[in-house]
Amino acid sequence: MPSMPTQTETCPLCAYTGETATDVYTHLQTSHRKSAISTRLLEHQSRSRQR
């Protein structure tokens, strides 16, 4: 029987991959500083506005 393709979710800050969005959320909360998450969010928002 062929195996089903596995869909993974990825961390926007590093190379971590998880099986679910909840896995990535937990990873973000436990493995990254709030300042790093905030900086990345603001960078993304700034790039979005420039388009």
Spell out the per-residue pLDDT of the chain, length 51, in tens. Answer: 555 556 899 999 999 999 999 999 999 999 999 999 999 999 999 998 887
Contact 40, 12 (CB under 8 A): yes
pLDDT for the residue numbered 5: 56
Give the ranges where 1-51 is alpha helix by DSSP (H): 21-31, 34-50
Q: What is the pLDDT of residue 51?
A: 77
36's tokens:
């790093």
Q: What is the pLDDT of residue 7?
A: 82
